[in-house]
Amino acid sequence: MSEQQDPASPGQAGATAIAAADSSAAASAATDAAILSTGALQNAIIQSANFSSIATDSRGVIQVFNIGAQRMLGYSAADVVNRMTPADLSDPGELLERAEFLSAELGIAIAAGFEALVFKASRGIEDIYELTYVRKDGSRFPALVSVTALRDPSGSTIGYLLIGTDNTARKHAEADRVTLERRLRDQQFHTRFLTEASTEALLTTDPLGTISATNVPMENLLQFSRNELVGTAFRSFFADPGQADACLEMAIGGGKVSDWELVAKPQAPNADACSTDAPNADAPSADAPSAAGSAALWSAHPFYGAGGELQGVFAAAHDVSELRRLERRLEEVEGELVHAGESAKAATVAVSDFLSGVANKLRSPLNTILGFAQLIDTDIPPPTLAQAASVEQILRAGWHLLELINEIVARADLESDALVLLEPTSLTEILRECHAAILPRARTNGVGVAFPPAGLPCFVLADRTRLKHVVMSLLSNAIAYNKVNGQVVVAIGLTSVAGKPDRVRLSVGDTGMGLAPAMLARIFHPFNTEGRVGGAANIGGIGLAASHRMVELMGGALHAESTLGAGSVFWFELDAAAEPQTPPSIAPLPTVPQGAHRRKLLYVEDNSSNLELVEQLLARVPDIRLITARDGRHGVLLARSEQPDVILMDIHLPGISGIEALQLLRSDLATARIPVIAVSGDAMPRDIQKGMKAGFFRYLTKPFDVRQFMETVEAGLELAGQKAGLK
């Protein structure tokens, strides 16, 4: 029987011991590696420059001051280790505040030094707070500090670790955020203030046509409260919902809609009408009144978010109900005038006076609208893009209304049979003045304007003021209703008609949308409403009607030709005239010898620019001494004390008017003989007649012709000399 090895034999035990020893060695090596790794990690933390690491003993004396702490605070480790506590590096005032706060919070008295920094951590409470560190050079910076109590295996506190980061950047970012939020609130307030302060009716819709915001004038226009408007379909408030939809669709499609006429529905919308899917939504309700609601001209354009996404439509409207009622009334009156004879003439004068009065009353509120809108537009800081777009709509509507008012005045002047003075008038000079006036508008609209070559003499028999109005009206229409990058061409030519003298033709052509035959047939009808459908511009209107009448009064006729989609040409002919002979220039007066008598001229004017102009004109005449006054009462006093040879008197003066000042001068024997010349911007024939009737020697209108001005002054001085010789 063979000998078998015992499992517990000495050989096997030795192998087991060897294996155990190897395992122990491996564990020891792993422990050493872990220790080395932990040491490397601790060393990396201590050497980190991104945050400060300050370790103290249990009394608070600094034992570790890493690279980050040295960089942030400017101390070396040798400066602080075993020498200082973190409280020595902190703002004393903040330490006091923190101690008082913690004492109140925890109900225990806490000292204002190091204890205030570590009290919560010493009690095992997580503590992260802000404080102000003080650098070695005395400068300060905000820091975010985390405090941890360091304990031995038995749980006793052996020190504290304060880890801090420079909080300056975050503080600045927070301050910037607060500033931006405040600016945003201010902008929102300003936007709302602008909306509410505007006399124009304003609203916004979402992309689906639901009203999202509105202002008080819009509530008044539509006759619904803001709560009833917001959240309701835009289309629900109009007699023709389809036209309201079309207005928004055109705006959302990228086009800016202007002068789009919509008539409000006077009754409140019902639930079905508010839904675009409701049957017969476009049909007026059965109980709707026969009379239409308020009419308004709407402007609309889309607005977008910061990412370019469509946010909705901004719309502005101004009520033209009164104007429409006036138009209808005028059409009725004109129809009656066809058969009225002499009574028709009286009615026309009455209507003209009414128009003139309405126009003058409209100027004051319109001046307020345009003035405040421009103040906002030029404010510092400038308005946001959305606000600028809103202001643009207000200004656009305001200037448009001002043009209508001016044309109403022109029409009133025509219908009152105002005097037409026909004289040889330079058409070339008229075109030069119109070119300078119209060029900024053409550039704004992106339209080129071509005029005939300058320098060619061309005279017609015309009333200069009315001729210029006609040319400006034709140019304004050609630019306003042209396309972007379109052209306006002005041409002059001679025509000859059998039995009549040669006539001059002026034509203004554009490359706009053109006119349909039906619209062209009504183009010169007073208050023509053609051309407004779908937001198209009012091609006719009182401007062309007034121009047509003006040309007739000057012995001509205004015509129009148009091709739909290609453009239109407006032209008129007037009798040609010979160039008037220029009177010989008056030789400059010689220098007045020293001590010689100088004639005195008093100018009463409150406008600085007008004063400066007259001063420069009279500076050319060495024997005239100019004295000035800024108001009527002062002017009368100067006239009494200085006894001028001639007086120039503005009509509209602060205090008393120029006419009242003239009456005071005429009632005083010392000044009654002095010739007084009126200088005024009131240029209508009735104004001139009123001034001459009041007793002015001459009546000059602003802007005056320099030659005419000098001749009038010389005539006044000559009369003064004659009166002086009779004394």
Tell me the C-alpha distance between 318 and 259, whole Å: 9
Same domain, 398 and 424: no
Same domain, 456 and 566: yes
Residue ending a domain, choose from 166, 199, 231 = 166
56: CATH: 3.30.450.20
CB 604 within 8 A of CB 627: no
Residue at 459 is within a domain:
yes
pTM of the model: 0.35
Residue at 439 is within a domain:
yes
The size of the chain, in residues, is 727
Residue at 483 is within a domain:
yes
Tell me the C-alpha distance between 306 and 309, whole Å: 7
Give tens-digit pLDDT for 470-513. 898 899 889 988 988 999 999 998 876 555 558 899 999 999 98
Confidence band of 668 (pLDDT split at 50, 70, 90): very high
Tell me the C-alpha distance between 409 and 472, whole Å: 15
Same domain, 272 and 404: yes
C-alpha distance from residue 491 to each of 449, 504, 507, 571, 574 (Å) = 11, 10, 5, 9, 14
| Residue 95 domain boundaries | 46-166
Query: Can you give the pLDDT at residue 442?
Result: 87
Tell me the C-alpha distance between 613 and 605, whole Å: 11
C-alpha distance from residue 628 to each of 484, 597, 602, 607, 676 (Å) = 50, 19, 6, 11, 14
Give strand pairing partners of 448. Answer: 487
Provide the number of structural domains found in the chain.
4
Confidence band of 278 (pLDDT split at 50, 70, 90): very low
Q: What are phi and psi of 678, to 5 degrees?
A: -80, 135
SS3 489: strand
Query: Can you give the pLDDT at residue 637?
Result: 95
Q: Where are the beta strands (DSSP E) in 421-516?
A: 423-426, 448-450, 459-462, 487-495, 503-510
Give tens-digit pLDDT for 534-558. 333 334 344 788 888 888 888 888 9
Name the more confident of 171 and 89: 89
Give tens-digit pLDDT for 556-601. 889 999 988 889 999 999 988 888 765 443 334 444 445 556 789 9
Residue at 530 is within a domain:
yes
Residue at 616 is within a domain:
yes
User: Cis (ω within 30 of 0) for the bond into 381?
Assistant: yes
Same domain, 337 and 480: no
Confidence band of 332 (pLDDT split at 50, 70, 90): confident
Query: Can you give the pLDDT at residue 667?
Result: 94
**DSSP conformation class of 291:** S
Query: Can you give the pLDDT at residue 24?
Result: 61
Residue at 153 is within a domain:
yes
> Count of CB atoms within 10 A of residue 16's CB?
9
Token pair 């289309």 is at which residue? 235
**DSSP conformation class of 264:** B
Give strand pairing partners of 563. Answer: 567
**Token pair listed for 557:** 């006729």
Same domain, 613 and 700: yes
Residue ending a domain, choose from 362, 383, 409 = 409
Name the more confident of 249 and 371: 249
pLDDT(706) > 80? no
pLDDT(310) > 70? yes
560: CATH: 3.30.565.10
Residue at 14 is within a domain:
no
Same domain, 434 and 390: no
Same domain, 342 and 369: yes
Amino acid at the residue 169: A
Query: Can you give the pLDDT at residue 720?
Result: 87
Same domain, 246 and 132: no
Q: Cβ contacts of residue 4 below 8 Å, gap of 6+?
A: none
Confidence band of 717 (pLDDT split at 50, 70, 90): very high
**Token pair listed for 164:** 């801090």
Query: Can you give the pLDDT at residue 541?
Result: 40
691: CATH: 3.40.50.2300
Q: Cβ contacts of residue 554 below 8 Å, gap of 6+?
A: 420, 422, 461, 462, 463, 466, 467, 574
Same domain, 547 and 428: yes
Query: Can you give the pLDDT at residue 81?
Result: 95
Residue at 235 is within a domain:
yes
**Token pair listed for 387:** 């606000």
Helices 114-122 and 92-106 meet at what angle, rounded to 10? 40
Same domain, 117 and 256: no
Highest mean pLDDT among 136-145, 286-295, 439-448, 612-621: 136-145
SS3 258: strand
Residue ending a domain, choose from 389, 409, 429 = 409
Burial of 408 (0-12, 13-18, 19+ CB in 10 A): buried
Same domain, 490 and 454: yes
Query: Can you give the pLDDT at residue 19?
Result: 62
Same domain, 403 and 449: no
